[in-house]
Structure 1
């Protein structure tokens, strides 16, 4: 298993702007005013979420909460069979909501299992946006209720559930920003958008300036000013992106772990898995 990545090594949005890793919106008006404090709490990375040493990670779960493909399967494998056992006691979870468990063998203390919507079916009903937003809001609420200081989101519903990365990133960013504006995230020190695929990171980089715009150099900040040397030092600590589907060397017994570790889970819609997900959704 890869070495755990601590929160302290994750670049903040403020740093990404300083390093010109994210460019301000091209002539478009931001939806919110710049806020240095908020930008210091946001991180966007391309990383295997199972390696993060953080208070909580958000799993892209299905209605059963018993494991699946992609990120869901990777998290269950890395956490070990005890995660499956605890999930069995939760009686599933409704789409658009989330439930919390311990992290077990993961470097993360807690796992928040959020069940995102299947895009094409929920869009027909006009519920896709509210259901995806509900996943992010409920996850944030669970983190705050449990006294957690940091939370990392996987790109919910953008895999086999078919939610376009651009639309999904806007829902996530708007929900988090609204939560901040409501003053409900004061206890949170870091909110991380952790992407496995380039398409998801690209979507966040494109839409971040709309919801968390950069702060003008002339605008005072409560944070100490970093020298150019500080910025260069921090830049060298940016985590390397994952090169392959996250794996765990000690996979639990198959009766304890019902996952599909196909390499295509992140990019190709598996019709059988989608049928299972839709059936689970209807029975939940």
Structure 2
């Protein structure tokens, strides 16, 4: 698969205009604005194909590779990545470390260790997960990284509920972009792969990064026009058959016999 540049990853602004992303079904969170929509990207696919400044690896404490996204990144990067990771002496849960990207199309890899979800103390898991996003973004800013992509951290074998994880991610990214180092980041990309993560981000992103009112109005007008067009086309179509066409074919063949 050809590498995908940051410019080729659709922003929320574009996704709203194309009606690929809908306005929030419930009220946006307090303080949510469309101010960052040009700098938030969303794509479903393989994070190892992104030719951007840094991709974030959902690593384990050893940083020596594992399953899922972690294993895919190590395989795509080649032996140089694990050799550098061996010099880092692991990483604490909620913290992040940076390496070169070797055979990957990105320039750097930021390794962050997500929490195993604790259903008894979910607030502890939430704090660690938010720390993954915060430390990754801070590390990126210190290293001159302007485009960064996150997979859905901890939602795989670590068992973090996808919707709750997307809330923690969006809240932390919004806080960073609103903060003093936010202007250093040109694009923050959320990469989804599994359908549960796709649904979760489609629900959560509009609550933290809603469309502007002009875009919402355009969407409503376009939606009404599409409905009218669909109704007009439907009136010209023949009635829906009440029997299965396959059954009718079978009956006709028997009559001929």
TM band (smaller chain)? 0.7 to 0.9
Query: Is 1:46–1:201's contact at 8 Å kept on the other side of the alignment?
Result: yes
Structure showing the higher helix proportion among its residues: 2
1:105 matched residue in structure 2: 103
Which residue, out of 92, 95, 100, partners 1:94?
Answer: 92
Matches within 5 A, 1:96-245: 96-120=94-118, 123-124=120-121, 126-217=123-214
Q: 2: CA distance between counterparts of 1:75 and 1:205? A: 25
2:83 matched residue in structure 1: 85
SS at match of 1:120: coil
Give per-residue Cα distances to partners, 1:95-132, cap 9 Å, x unaligned: 011100000000000000000000037x5374111000
Structure 2, unaligned runs of 5 or more: 217-257
TM-score under structure 2 length normalisation: 0.81
- CA gap of 1:213–1:66, structure 2 versus 1, over 3 A, is same
- CA gap of 1:125–1:48, structure 2 versus 1, over 3 A, is closer
Query: Is 1:32–1:213's contact at 8 Å kept on the other side of the alignment?
Result: no
SS at match of 2:89: coil
User: Does 2:15 match 1:16?
Assistant: yes
Query: Is 2:150–2:189's contact at 8 Å kept on the other side of the alignment?
Result: yes
> 1:183 offset after TM fit, Å?
2.8
Give per-residue Cα distances to partners, 1:196-226, cap 9 Å, x unaligned: 112111101101111111112189xxxxxxx
Q: 2: CA distance between counterparts of 1:212 and 1:28? A: 11
* Greater relative contact order (CA < 8 Å, ≥ 6 in sequence): 1
**Alignment RMSD:** 1.5
From the CA coordinates, give the structure whose radius of gyration is larger.
2
